[in-house]
Amino acid sequence: MSTIDAPERATPAIPGPPPRILLIQAPYYENVVSGMRRGAERVLGEAGATLEVVDVAGAFELPAALRMAIRHGGWDGFLLHGCVVKGETDHYQFICEAVCQGVMDISGETGVPLGFGLLTVETLAQAEARSAEDRHNKGGEAAHALLGQILLARRWGAAR
């Protein structure tokens, strides 16, 4: 891992009912994504949140699934988890850019509380390091970001 030390984050107390979270995950790299999910489960459990998990085929499907879930309603916030490992073709760049832009567009349009955990890495070893059960876990970091967004939504009366 990097020499940069990840900050220790306190899990925020969320006023009101326990948050209902939907995790949309692309488990192509099952070990990596399940490690991220465990990191998120730890953080969300500390906040008393409930978590529902759905799978999509790959990272490219994350934005469309997010849009469908928002239209369906019933959750206070959404987590997205996936991993794209760079290969020998341009596929990596096209997928990463499309997914990030799609998620950003939805986030900007809706203002929905969102935690974005898409690993875009050069090697599988990098992904494994970012999904390990420590404070470098990007699933846990995305869950912290999501809880912060839910806190703002409730503060400003924008929660669903």
Q: What is the pLDDT of residues 69-87, one digit of tens each?
A: 999 999 999 999 999 999 8
pTM (two decimals)? 0.92
Residue 130 known to bind ligand: yes
Whether pLDDT at 121 is above 80: yes
**How far apart, in Å, are the Cα atoms of 132 and each of 34, 39, 104, 117, 141?**
10, 8, 26, 14, 12
Residue 59 known to bind ligand: yes
d(Cα 78, Cα 37) in Å, to the nearest integer?
A: 13
Read off the pLDDT band of 11 (50, 70, 90).
confident
Residue 58 neighbours by CB distance under 10 Å? 14
Which CATH superfamily is 26-155 part of?
A: Lumazine/riboflavin synthase (3.40.50.960)
Residue 138 neighbours by CB distance under 10 Å? 25
Contact 118, 105 (CB under 8 A): no
Q: What is the pLDDT, as a whole number, of residue 4?
A: 62
Work out the average pLDDT over 124-132: 96
**How far apart, in Å, are the Cα atoms of 137 and each of 32, 55, 71, 106, 155?**
10, 20, 29, 25, 27
Read off the pLDDT band of 6 (50, 70, 90).
low
Q: What is the pLDDT, as a whole number, of residue 8?
A: 76
d(Cα 29, Cα 31) in Å, to the nearest integer?
A: 6
pLDDT of 15-73, one tens digit each? Answer: 999 999 999 999 999 999 999 999 999 999 999 999 999 999 999 999 999 999 999 99
Q: What is the pLDDT, as a whole number, of residue 144?
A: 96
Catalytic residue list: 91
Contact 40, 143 (CB under 8 A): yes
Query: 36, 21, 22: which is closest to 129 by C-alpha?
Result: 36
Q: What is the pLDDT, as a whole number, of residue 158?
A: 59
Whether pLDDT at 160 is above 90: no
Residue 103 known to bind ligand: no
